[in-house]
Amino acid sequence: MQVNVRPSVEMLTEKTHLTPAEYLALERQSEERHEYYGGELRLMAGASRRHNIISLNIASFLREQLRGKPCRPFMSDMRIRIESAQRYFYPDIAIICGTESFVEEDVAADATVIIEVLSSTTEAYDRGTKFESYQCLPSLQDYVLVSQDHIRLEHFHKLAHNEWRYLALNKAEDILYLDAVGVQLPLKEIYLDAEPNLS
């Protein structure tokens, strides 16, 4: 009689290289969150108070703007799978349209918009490795980086031939236009109660 033994967190964390299936098994049992990068795990640090306020402001505004539409925002517990690069990430906010992108209840293989709130420990990673990986997503149209220390937002919008247009916004009265999902997001809504430095 064959018995299927579910691998424990201890068994999996002792391995130096995990398969995607092993990663998901570990992650669903673990109290900590990890991103997956070609077999290796990257422990995710906790978010600051300001980071949480900004993320929730964005997600709440998007939820109201997208109500009744086929697209909806998901916060940082939704994994995005980059199959071609063997990577799994937890974006701060992802707008996913329809249900076809969901390969599992907690895993999506595509997104139309991804928003990351920057911190000193993740900024280089969000600008480099993550953005490069996210560009493999077939439907991604907008990648947005949001500073939590200053009113500053960087918007990368996909053009033809995988070229990206860059726009920086740094005034409370500026508006982020996400035309792919029909949303206009004022920066004053993003930074409401977050008390960023104005310089």
Number of structural domains, the chain?
Answer: 2
Q: Does 65 lie in the same domain as 34?
A: no
Q: Does 102 lie in the same domain as 37?
A: no
The residue segments making up the domain with residue 126 are 49-190
Q: Does 32 lie in the same domain as 125?
A: no
Q: Does 38 lie in the same domain as 53?
A: no
Spatial distance between the Cα atoms of 187 and 171, rounded to a whole number of angstroms: 7
Structure confidence at residue 197 (pLDDT): 65
**pLDDT tens digit sequence for 58-77:** 999 999 999 999 999 999 88
Higher per-residue confidence, 154 vs 14 = 154
**pLDDT tens digit sequence for 77-108:** 899 999 888 999 999 999 999 999 999 999 99
